[in-house]
Amino acid sequence: MTDTELTDATRAWPDHDPATKRTVPESSVPVDQDRVEKLMAQEWERFSSSTTGSSAHHARALGTLPLGVTSSFQYWEPHPIAIESAKGAWLTDVDGRQLLDLSMGFGAMLVGHLHPLVVEYVTKALESGTLFVTPSPSATSVAELFQKRFNLEQLRFANSGTEATMYAVKAARVFTGRRGIIKIEGGYHGGYDALSVSVKPEVAEAGPEESPIPVVPFEAEAGIVHVVPYNDLDRLEAIFAEHGDEISAVVMEPVLENISIVLPDAGYLQGVRETCDRHGALLVFDEVKTGLTAGYAGASRRLGVTADLITLAKSIGGGLPLAAFGGRADIMATISDGRMWHFGTYNGNPLVMAAAAAVDEICTEEALDHAEEINNGALDALDEVIARYELPAHTVGFGVKGAVTWATAPVRNYRDYKRTDFGTAELSWLWGVNRGILTPPGLDEQWLVSVAHTQDDMGLLVQEFEELAQALRA
C-alpha cells in the first residue's frame, strides 16, 4: 500500500443511499507503517501470553478438526480464542476472560446470547417434541410472520444460508428456463458451487477492474456464472447485452457485508432492478447478513427496491440454525407444481421455529431503532476520533452494523476494498481482542450492536479505538 493509494482524492465520493451511513474524511495523515509493524509484534506477544488456555485447546482440537475449528471462518493464526459460554453481549473464554462480543455469531445473535424469551420458547418446545418431519402449526405460524414482515408471497425454510441461496438460484433457473447467473465480484453467499465464483479472488487472476473475469475454485462445478463489479450498472448492462438469453438471475447482497460494509450508490439498486426487468431476469437479494440487522423488514424494504426472491438466515433464528428463501408466488410455484425439488429433514423443526417466533416478538421497530441509535452514536464517536487524529480511515454503517475502513478513498466495490490498508485493519482488530473486545476475525466483517448491547458497551469500543489512535500517533 502506498501513500498515494491511501490518500487518493482523485475520485469523488459518490452519493449514497440516505438510509445508510458513511462519513467523508476531511483530511488525513498516513500512518507510519513501521510503527504498525512494531505495535503488531507487541500485540501478538500480548495475545499469546494472555490466551494460554485457548492455545492448549487449539492444540487438542487440531487432533480431530482440520485447523482445529468447525468452520474455516473461525480460524486465525496462531490460534483462535475458544469460548466456553455467552450471555447477553458478553462471552467467557476458556482462560476465564470476559469479552464484549461484537461479532455476535457473524451477525446471527441479533437478540443477544440466551435472550430470556428465546430460552423460554425453546424450553417450552422441548416439552412437545424436537422433530416431526410433518406439517406443524409452529412452522406455519412462523411462515405467516415472515410473509408479513418481509412482504413475501410464499417462502420455504432451510437450515443455513448456503442452502437458502442455493435453492433461490435453482428456483430462478427453473422459473426462467435459463441456467446462467450474474454475481458481484467479491460477494460471498455460502458454499454452493455456482456462488463460490470470485468470492475473494486474487486480483492478479481476476482480470481488469472494470470487466472482471470469473475466478472459479478448482473444486467447484459452477456452471455459467458472470461477475460484475458492485455499483457498476454499465458493466451489468454489457454482460446482459452479450449473454442476456442465458441469464436467469442477478444474485447479490443489497449491501455488501462480506468485504466490510460496502454501500450502494444512490440509484444503483433501482438500476439493477430495471436492468433485470429489461432482460427478463430475476433479481435475488441475499439477505442472509442484512436481514433484520438492516431494520424491521430487511434491507430490501429499507432501501425501497423489491427483489423477486430473497434469502434469509442468521439474525432470524436467534442463534439456532434457520434459513429461508421466498418471494413471488409464481416463482415459488416451481416447487408446488413439481418443476423443482426442495427438501430438508430439519426444515421448520419445532425448536428452531420456537426461537424464530421469539426473535420476531423481540425485534420490534422500537427495539431495532434503539440498537441502531446506539450504533450510530458509536459511529459518530469513532468519526470524531478519526478526525481528531487525522487517521486515514472512515466509518461505514448500515442498520445495527458498523465498520471502520482503513482508507480515505471511497470503497465502492471489491477492487477498492483490496486497496484498503489491511495491516492497520489487522492491528486494530487485534488491539480490540487484547482489550476484551471481539469484533469478527477475518477483517472482512463488521460489528453488530444487538438488542443486548448498551451505549456503555459501545463506549468501550470507542475508548480502545482512541487508545489505538494515540499509539499510532505517539
Ligand X SMILES: Cc1ncc(COP(=O)(O)O)c(C=O)c1O
445 is a site residue for ligand X (CB under 6 A): no
360 is a site residue for ligand X (CB under 6 A): no
Cα 205 from Cα 415, distance rounded (Å): 12
For ligand X, the closer CB: 326 or 392? 326
Asked whether the beta carbons of 120 and 358 are under 8 A apart, the reply is yes
Asked whether the beta carbons of 408 and 6 are under 8 A apart, the reply is yes
User: In 426-454, which positions are buried (b, 16+ CB within 10 angstroms) versus exposed (e)?
Assistant: bbbbbbbbbbbbbbbbbbbbbbbbbbbbe
- DSSP-derived secondary structure letter, 10: S
Binding span for ligand X by CB under 6 A among 92-100, 154-162, 362-370, 462-470: 154-162
Three-class DSSP category at 210: coil
Three-class DSSP category at 190: coil
189 is a site residue for ligand X (CB under 6 A): yes
347 is a site residue for ligand X (CB under 6 A): no
Q: How far is the CB of 382 from ligand X (least distance, A)?
A: 23
Chosen residue from 173, 273, 289, 415 binding ligand X by CB under 6 A: 289
Three-class DSSP category at 134: coil
Chosen residue from 54, 160, 260, 395 binding ligand X by CB under 6 A: 160
Asked whether the beta carbons of 234 and 217 are under 8 A apart, the reply is no
CA dist list (Å): 282 to 169, 176, 274, 279: 10, 8, 10, 9
Binding mask 19-58 for ligand X (x = CB under 6 A): ----------------------------------------
Residue 123: what residue type? T
288 is a site residue for ligand X (CB under 6 A): yes
- List CB contacts of 300: < 8 A, sequence separation 6 or more: 150, 254, 285, 287, 306, 307, 310
Cα 183 from Cα 259, distance rounded (Å): 15
17 is a site residue for ligand X (CB under 6 A): no
Binding span for ligand X by CB under 6 A among 96-104, 187-195, 264-272, 358-366: 187-195
Chosen residue from 23, 28, 165, 439 binding ligand X by CB under 6 A: 165
Binding span for ligand X by CB under 6 A among 26-34, 92-100, 281-289, 423-431: 281-289
- List CB contacts of 406: < 8 A, sequence separation 6 or more: 392, 393, 420, 421, 422, 424, 425, 428
Number of residues in the chain: 474
Binding span for ligand X by CB under 6 A among 93-101, 155-163, 198-206, 236-244: 155-163
Beta bridge partners of 403: 396
For ligand X, the closer CB: 258 or 428? 258
Bridge pairing between strands 282-286 and 309-312: parallel
Site for ligand X in 95-124 (CB under 6 A): 106
For ligand X, the closer CB: 166 or 363? 166
Q: Which position's Cβ is nearest ligand X?
A: 161
Chosen residue from 30, 80, 88, 190 binding ligand X by CB under 6 A: 190
For ligand X, the closer CB: 188 or 465? 188
253 is a site residue for ligand X (CB under 6 A): yes
Catalytic sites, residue numbers: 188, 286, 314
For ligand X, the closer CB: 157 or 465? 157
264 is a site residue for ligand X (CB under 6 A): no
Chosen residue from 111, 155, 252, 313 binding ligand X by CB under 6 A: 313
Q: How far is the CB of 322 from ligand X (least distance, A)?
A: 9
For ligand X, the closer CB: 154 or 258? 258
Q: Any alpha helices (H) in 317-393, and if so which ranges?
A: 329-336, 350-362, 365-388
User: Which of 22, 40, 35, 4 is CA-nearest to residue 404?
Assistant: 22
188 is a site residue for ligand X (CB under 6 A): yes
For ligand X, the closer CB: 57 or 289? 289
For ligand X, the closer CB: 31 or 142? 142
Interface residues with ligand X (CB under 6 A) are 106, 160-162, 165, 188-190, 253, 258, 286, 288-289, 313
